[in-house]
Chains A and B, each alone.
Chain A
Amino acid sequence: MVKDTCPSIKNILLLDSEGKRVAVKYYSNDWPTNSAKEAFEKAVFTKTQKTNARTEAEIAMLEGNVIVYKFVQDLHFFVTGGEDENELILATVLQGFFDAVGLLLRGNVDKKEALENLDLILLCLDEIVDGGIILETDANVIAGKVASHSVDVGAPLSEQTISQALATAREHLTRSLLK
């Protein structure tokens, strides 16, 4: 019996308060079709919706998976791992995702803001886990990688617009404020 030794993430879900997808990313083949994925999301949502996961991350088991989750406003964050996964590693990933989204949305974490900045959310997912393997768990680093817009040293300065420069500046400011 050789346990899969590297910690792995099966999926990361960001759902709204009705269980609809905002952004999801699956890394394992446990849910091969879209309908299987939707069924899983529905089961997860139904099982967790009545719990209070607004101050501390909560945890549940479902279909032989461990799910850690946290809610804020009308957004529900989930991270799923295998039955034998170290729960605290999953919780660290969840916290990294949760805090990074908070930084990227400048504290206005709700569904509307998340959809308006969906590109940032998707990039954020891309920076946290690659093919199931944890890439980064530090929210500041994740948000920094996602938001490091337009500092292409190779690009001529003229291509950087004022608004982009402002955005970068604001980014740095909020990050230092939110720390």
Chain B
Amino acid sequence: MAQPLVKKDDDRDDEAEYSPFLGIEKGAVLQEARVFNDPQLDPRRCSQVITKLLYLLNQGETFTKIEATEVFFAVTKLFQSRDIGLRRMVYLMIKELSPSADEVIIVTSSLMKDMTSKTDMYRANAIRVLCRITDGTLLTQIERYLKQAIVDKNPVVASAALVSGIHLLETTPEIVKRWSNEVQEAVQSRAALVQFHALALLHQIRQNDRLAVSKLVTSLTRGTVRSPLAQCLLIRYTTQVIREAATTQTGDRPFYDFLESCLRHKAEMVIFEAARAITELNGVTNRELTPAITVLQLFLSSSKPVLRFAAVRTLNKVAMTHPMAVTNCNIDMESLISDQNRSIATLAITTLLKTGNESSVDRLMKQITNFMSDIADEFKIVVVEAIRSLCLKFPLKYRSLMNFLSNILREEGGFEYKKAIVDSIVILIRDIPDAKENGLLHLCEFIEDCEFTYLSTQILHFLGTEGPKTSDPSKYIRYIYNRVHLENATVRAAAVSTLAKFGAMVDALKPRVFVLLRRCLYDGDDEVRDRATLYLNTVGSDGEVIETDKVVKDFLFGSLDIPLANIETSLKNYEPAEQPFDINSVPKEVKTQPLAEKKAPGKKPAGLGAPPSGPPSTVDAYEKLLSSIPEFSDFGKLFKSSAPVELTEAETEYAVNVVKHIFDRHVVFQYNCTNTIPEQLLENVTVIVDASEAEEFAEVASKPLRSLPYDSPGQIFGAFEKPEGVPAVGKFSNMLRFIVKEVDPTTGDVEDDGVEDEYQLEDLEVVAADYVMKVGVSNFRNAWESIGPDFERVDEYGLGPRESLAEAVSAVISLLGMQPCEGTEVVANNSRSHTCLLSGVFIGNVKVLVRLQFGIDGPKEVAMKLAVRSEDDNVSDMIHEIVASG
């Protein structure tokens, strides 16, 4: 560990290196441990040796199994000595060695003797050691003593027993639960910490019994709790009760008065715990918040850094949901910007950024500028993110905020920090149109002197999309072409692409851009030359001022709506042939998880020569499989295949899952069956499908399985016709019918006679989500605008009480079966509202985009605004129908 040595102001440098453990060595200490076996024990010396052993363990040294056992047995000899100091070290050593079960037996009797000793210190420590190393069987033997110890008049003994109880509750809850009478008595103890430990244990014993916890809280909030720690516990339990009660009751919040009274407690930890609890109440009102904010404000000017930190951290969280409530603290908060502790200063800054109003922005930015130079990158990133959201809140202030960002972009900083700044500028450019030209120029200046290849290429790409749309695109060319001279190959290639985009979009610039591109033909790097050649040929090599045609523009600017992973697999599968690679053959479906992997657990390895187990795993494999079956060959192009749905429980005789293949006018069910009984061979296996609850479907074909031997999966198909383009839904019940023949598993002989049998499978549903294909878009905003509001449908829905916002969001996503975009499927903790963006393709190749706005209101009542844009108003309506009926 090479640490920068910090010389302290001590004048004993010569001695500083002295350590009683200098040159200590494990082998030697283990030798020394032999003194434990001396007939005449020397307690002092034995203590020293144990200390040395503990020192070794503490420094990260490990003992082998044999060494540990030897030390353990030697240490047990020391129970003969009556020296208290030595005994304490013995206890410590036994805990550190954590002996195995058969070793524990050796010390059990000694420890049990100590547990009943008259010396309090022995009793307390023996209980802690024994409970640490014991298992359930031994516990019943000592249970009686433990119960006594819980109500022991010595607080140390009682605490030892109670804390041990808390640990044991995890392993042997049934025993510890029997102690609740004694624990209840201990809650009334006059000793502060006994009360704390008893309360913690009692609550854990009863935590699953809401009524009991509520009673406990009710009685204790009226009485007096002596220990500040116990009072903190009580506050936590109270908030739990409030949280659970809130869903059933309305009106005044129960126990709020208790929390408020805790704000006047004499211990700071209790005051803070109560204040924090109030700020975290569900749907807290401003009136409820005020007293809590007031005490936190007082803490802000405390001389203790810990107190200031705790207060500013809590206020920072409050500012996210109730910025107005925190504004009173702004003056105290501003003085914290110069706090010695940079964590406190950063939290203060970001809180101010959240609560600040438009008029204070400029003043605030001035203060932050001084502050930024002396904090670490990790804090700077937090500040940059806060500034970004401030700018989105007050778009009129973009000028000063953008200038600030560009200034800090020029200063020293690591990659993560620079990336945060660049991301912020890019977001501001996207969301605030006025900021675009200014922001782009800042980015251009940045890449003139940027050491990070990743950031340079990202910015060049962004310039390529946004630059040509500005009023004077030509001013960017210089910055871009400079890259071709000065940078590494990756950046040069990106610069070539960007140049080409300018050439394609801005006809006036085309000839000049071509001159530049031609120079790139002599670049030293293959990729750069290839790109230059490609663009020169596609955009038109004659260099005349002509309009670039649409196909080329699509090629240059169209977003790639195919998942990269799919292209990769397709390219790997592509064998060099006469036919060129067709990008349209790449499936667009986003795969959440490879199917083969999903099926893998619980599956026995297939025997030698057995056909490959598991269904074909990719969408194009499905397509190949289906088109090879003559009955289905005229169904057209496969639209979507679902993930397999299990129709049987795991570990049953026959394992069946089904894949739903959706075509324009048909639905094909592919039943993947596996026979898991070695003594059976199934023949003429069919699935009898009852479609009486699926009125729009009519069975047109089915393809049974001739035979299904043990452990080699086979497929049965059933095809249904449905109205074209309509997302018909329905429920199908399935029955597996087959002839069973006995097989001798040793010889493989099959008996001639079989018995007809049936096996009930679970129902299968075709739902609306089956008609939507998950297809992501790279830039939702652009896609949303390009579809336009022609077929937009907006409506609001109440989703009723929900577990949480996140749960509601994921329920709607899975109901619609669409692809969440830009990471919006993740809901921030504690947020009260959320916007989720989804994209997909509806059957009939209709692109659909959905913008969901969720809000949670009062006691978990979730409301949702659903806006759909698509290329067809029927489809927009259909999406609404899915939600309305879901």
A16 to chain B, nearest CB (A): 9
A110 to chain B, nearest CB (A): 8
Q: Are A154 and B119 in contact (CB under 8 A)?
A: yes
Given A5-B233, A116-B20, answer yes or no on A131-B163 (Cβ-Cβ < 8 Å).
Answer: yes
Q: Could you list 14 examples of A-B contacts with CB < 8 Å?
A: A5-B233, A5-B240, A6-B200, A17-B5, A18-B3, A51-B341, A86-B232, A86-B269, A91-B304, A118-B51, A133-B166, A133-B167, A150-B85, A154-B119
Given A73-B10, A133-B166, A134-B229, answer yes or no on A87-B309 (Cβ-Cβ < 8 Å).
Answer: yes
A148 beta carbon closer than 8 Å to chain B: yes
Closest 8 CB pairs of A and B: A88-B269, A34-B60, A87-B310, A91-B306, A155-B82, A119-B51, A149-B85, A59-B309
Q: Are A74 and B10 in contact (CB under 8 A)?
A: yes
Alpha-carbon separation in the docked complex, A86 to B314 (Å): 10
B268 beta carbon closer than 8 Å to chain A: yes
Q: Are B47 and A17 in contact (CB under 8 A)?
A: no
Given A7-B232, A152-B119, answer yes or no on A57-B55 (Cβ-Cβ < 8 Å).
Answer: no
B217 to chain A, nearest CB (A): 12
Alpha-carbon separation in the docked complex, A23 to B96 (Å): 14
Q: Which residues on the B side are within 8 Å of A61 (C-beta)?
A: 343
Tell me the chain B residues, 166-181 only, with Cβ under 8 Å from chain A: 166-167
A42 to chain B, nearest CB (A): 6
Encode contact with B along A98-134: 1 for CB under 8 Å, 0 otherwise. Answer: 0000000000001110011011001100100011011
Given A6-B233, A19-B3, A88-B269, answer yes or no on A159-B82 (Cβ-Cβ < 8 Å).
Answer: yes
Q: Indicate which residue in A90, A91, A154 contacts B82 across the interface (CB closer than 8 Å).
A: A154
Q: Are A59 and B166 in contact (CB under 8 A)?
A: no
A68 beta carbon closer than 8 Å to chain B: yes
Given A59-B309, A68-B306, A135-B159, answer yes or no on A21-B58 (Cβ-Cβ < 8 Å).
Answer: yes
Q: Please give the residue numbers on chain A whose beta carbons come within 8 Å of chain B beta carbons, in ascending order.
A: 1-3, 5-7, 17-21, 23-24, 34, 37-38, 42, 45-46, 49, 51-52, 56-61, 68, 73-74, 86-92, 110-112, 115-116, 118-119, 122-123, 126, 130-131, 133-137, 145, 148-155, 159
Q: Which residues on the A side are within 8 Å of B50 (C-beta)?
A: 119
Q: Which residues on the A side are within 8 Å of B204 (C-beta)?
A: 6
Interface size on B, residues (CB 8 A): 72
Given A115-B20, A152-B82, A154-B118, answer yes or no on A56-B54 (Cβ-Cβ < 8 Å).
Answer: no
A34 to chain B, nearest CB (A): 4
Alpha-carbon separation in the docked complex, A153 to B121 (Å): 11
Q: Which residues on the B side are within 8 Å of A115 (C-beta)?
A: 19-21
Alpha-carbon separation in the docked complex, A37 to B59 (Å): 11
Q: Are A86 and B85 in contact (CB under 8 A)?
A: no
Alpha-carbon separation in the docked complex, A61 to B346 (Å): 12
Q: Indicate which residue in A57, A74, A136 contacts B304 across the interface (CB closer than 8 Å).
A: A57
Encode contact with A along B143-161: 1 for CB under 8 Å, 0 otherwise. Answer: 0000000000000100110
Q: Which residues on the B side are within 8 Å of A91 (C-beta)?
A: 304, 306
B501 beta carbon closer than 8 Å to chain A: no
B478 beta carbon closer than 8 Å to chain A: no
Q: Which residues on the B side are within 8 Å of A68 (C-beta)?
A: 306
Encode contact with A along B275-307: 1 for CB under 8 Å, 0 otherwise. Answer: 010000000000000000000000000011111
Given A58-B341, A126-B92, A154-B119, answer yes or no on A88-B84 (Cβ-Cβ < 8 Å).
Answer: no
B79 beta carbon closer than 8 Å to chain A: no
Q: Which residues on the B side are within 8 Å of A145 (C-beta)?
A: 121, 156
Q: Indicate which residue in B166, B276, B305 contacts A56 across the interface (CB closer than 8 Å).
A: B305
Given A42-B1, A61-B343, A133-B197, answer yes or no on A7-B229 (Cβ-Cβ < 8 Å).
Answer: yes
Q: Are A73 and B54 in contact (CB under 8 A)?
A: no
Q: Are A112 and B307 in contact (CB under 8 A)?
A: no
Q: Are A152 and B84 in contact (CB under 8 A)?
A: yes
Q: Which residues on the B side are within 8 Å of A86 (C-beta)?
A: 232, 269, 272-273, 276, 310
Q: Which residues on the B side are within 8 Å of A74 (C-beta)?
A: 8, 10, 16
Q: Indicate which residue in A3, A51, A135 contacts B236 across the interface (CB closer than 8 Å).
A: A3
B340 beta carbon closer than 8 Å to chain A: yes
Alpha-carbon separation in the docked complex, A110 to B340 (Å): 25
Q: Indicate which residue in A58, A112, A135 contacts B306 across the interface (CB closer than 8 Å).
A: A58
Q: Are B200 and A133 in contact (CB under 8 A)?
A: yes
Given A51-B341, A119-B51, A149-B84, answer yes or no on A130-B163 (Cβ-Cβ < 8 Å).
Answer: yes
Q: Which residues on the B side are within 8 Å of A87 (C-beta)?
A: 272, 306-307, 309-310, 313
Given A112-B15, A152-B82, answer yes or no on A88-B272 (Cβ-Cβ < 8 Å).
Answer: yes
Alpha-carbon separation in the docked complex, A73 to B156 (Å): 32
Q: Which residues on the B side are within 8 Å of A152 (C-beta)?
A: 82-84, 119
